[in-house]
Amino acid sequence: MQDPLQQRIYVAGHTGMVGSAISRRLKRDGYLLVGPKSRVDLRDQRRTMDMFSELKPDLVFLAAAKVGGIYANLTYPADFIYDNLMIQTNVIHASCQHSVKKLLFLGSSCIYPAKSPQPIKEEYLLSGYLEKTNEAYALSKIAGIFMCQSYNRQYGTNFISLMPANLYGPGDTFDPSNSHVIPALIRKIHTGKESGAESVEIWGTGNPRREFLYVDDLADACLFLMENYDSSEIINVGAGKEVTIRDLAHLIGEVIGYRGEFTFNDDMPDGVPQKLLNTSKIAKMGWQPSTALREGLEKTYQWFLDNVAGSG
C-alpha cells in the first residue's frame, strides 16, 4: 500500500479561505501537495485537463468556488451558477479521466430547502424549494453532488461530498459588497469603532439563527473524511450550535471593543429564518469541532487587523 504521506494531493482553490486552511493542515502533517506553477482558470476545460496531466494527483480536495453573501448572490446570479458549474464540472471530470483515487467535493448548507425541519438532516436534500436569495449558487452545488454520485455509479470512482455550515476564519473576504455575514460584521463594526460612530447598521431584523464553523475545523474534518469516509451519500459538517445575527453582532462588538449601538435595517432581506445542520452522522464516526465561536472570532479579527484593516 502506498504511504499516505507520499500520495500527491491537489487542493483546488488553494488560495481561498477553505483551500488555504486545507493546505495549511496538510502541510503541517507532512503531506505532499502539488499544484500548478501559475494560476489556472478552472473554468477552462482544456487548461484544467492539461494541469491534471502534469500534476498527476492521487487525491483532490475541490474547494475552488465563487462564493459571496446575500448581496452578491442577488446581484450576480449568472456568475455564481456559471463559474461554479464550470469549475466543478472540469475538476470532477478531469479527476475521473486521470484516475484520481479519491476526490472530496465541498458543497454548502444552502443546498437544503429554505423551510427544512431543524436541525437539517442530509436526507432533506431536494425535499422542498430553495432559498431565493442564493438559489443559483445552491443549484450549482447540487449539480456537483449529483456529478460525484453519477461518476461513482458509472465509473466506480471514489468521489465524496461534504456539506459545511456557514464558514468563517483567516483568509475570508471582507469586501463589503461580496462578504458573508461574519466578515461583513467585523468590517462594519471595526469601522464604527475607528470612526467613533454612535451606531452601526446591520442588514435584516437580526432574528435569523445561524450556525458558524471555524475554517480550520472544517479543514480538520476534510482530512478526517478523506481518510475515513467512502460513501456517495452527502455528509454534514457543522459546529452543532446556533446564534442569532443580533447576538452575533453584539459578540463581535465585544471582541472588537466597540461601545456603540446597533440598528437593524429590516428593509434588507434576512434569508432563511434558521439554518442548523444535523451532524450526528460525522459525530458517530468520531469527529467533533474544537474551536468555540468567541475563540474563532478573536482569531479572525486578529487576522483582519494583520492583513486587511491597514490596506484601506
Does the annotation place 15 within a ligand binding site?
Answer: yes
Residue 179, in any domain of the structure: no
Instruction: Determine the angle formed by the axes of helices 181-195 and 293-307, rounding to 10 degrees.
Output: 60
Percentage of the chain beyond pLDDT 70 is 98
Q: How many domains are there within the chain?
A: 1
Residue 113, in any domain of the structure: yes
Does the annotation place 13 within a ligand binding site?
Answer: yes
Whether residue 5 is predicted with pLDDT greater than 80 in this model: the reply is: no
pLDDT, residue 253, reads 98
Residue 244, in any domain of the structure: no
Residue 296, in any domain of the structure: no
pLDDT, residue 300, reads 98
Q: Which residues are catalytic?
A: 137
The 10s digit of each residue's pLDDT in 282-305 is: 999 999 999 999 999 999 999 999
The 10s digit of each residue's pLDDT in 44-89 is: 999 999 999 999 999 999 999 998 888 888 899 999 999 999 999 9
Whether the full predicted model's pTM is greater than 0.85, yes or no, is yes
pLDDT, residue 1, reads 47
Does the annotation place 98 within a ligand binding site?
Answer: no
The answer to whether 22 and 221 are in contact (CB under 8 A) is no
The answer to whether 236 and 277 are in contact (CB under 8 A) is yes
Domain around 119: 4-168+213-238+276-290
Residue 80, in any domain of the structure: yes
Report, as an integer, the average pLDDT of 215-242. Answer: 97
Does the annotation place 152 within a ligand binding site?
Answer: no
Residue 90, in any domain of the structure: yes
pLDDT, residue 129, reads 96
The 10s digit of each residue's pLDDT in 136-188 is: 999 999 999 999 999 999 999 999 999 999 999 999 999 877 778 999 999 99
pLDDT, residue 2, reads 62
Does the annotation place 35 within a ligand binding site?
Answer: no
Report, as an integer, the average pLDDT of 231-242. Answer: 97
Residue 185, in any domain of the structure: no
List the CATH number of the domain containing 101: 3.40.50.720
